[in-house]
Homo-oligomer: A and B are copies of this chain.
Amino acid sequence: MDSITTLLRNRGFKVTPQRLAIYKVLVNTRSHPSAEMIFNDLQPVYPTMSLATVYKTIEILQELGLVQRLNVGEDSFRYDAIVDTHPHIRCLGCGRVDDLEEVDSQEFVKSIDETTSYKITGQQFYFFGYCPVCQKQKKHQN
């Protein structure tokens, strides 16, 4: 199996508790945390861990193809352990970022691929709106 442990070792990276912990946070959440959110999550368990370690680890995880980086229009990046390309949506009320996995974007990608002179290698789809909770709280302007 290709566990994170094996993947790290195969590439000459050492397996440290910090790296495992950071990856675990990403695997166990759907909240698409930023580096700082991961850092805060781990504060209770790894009080001495630094933000720099989070950034350095995330970079390795991206290299290994275990994590993808999202740019949801905020000042900071967010990270997702689901590396398959799928659309994301950010709530303009509370800032939460959700997956939009149900939808098939293949046809859309295909139509782009057929009309552009570019050779397409990847894509990111970002939606913006208001989540159910914020809709009720009228945090949105109708």
Residue interface bits A95-110, CB-to-B below 8 A is 1, else 0: 0001010111101100
Say yes or no for A127: interface residue by CB 8 A criterion: yes
- Which residues from chain A sit less than 8 Å from chain B, CB to CB? 71, 73, 87, 89, 91-92, 98, 100, 102-105, 107-108, 111-112, 115-132, 135, 140
Of all chain B residues, which has the CB nearest A108? Answer: B108
Of all chain B residues, which has the CB nearest A126? Answer: B124
| Secondary structure call for the A interface | mixed
A129 near B125 with CB under 8 A, answer no
B120 near A128 with CB under 8 A, answer yes
Give the complex CA separation of A91 and B117 in angstroms.
11
- A131's partner among B115, B118, B132 (CB-CB below 8 A) is B118
Shortest distance in angstroms between A42's beta carbon and chain B's nearest beta carbon? 26
Of all chain B residues, which has the CB nearest A104? Answer: B111
New A-B contacts (9) at CB < 8 Å, excluding given A92-B121, A121-B140:
A102-B116, A104-B111, A105-B108, A108-B108, A116-B129, A118-B129, A119-B129, A120-B129, A125-B125
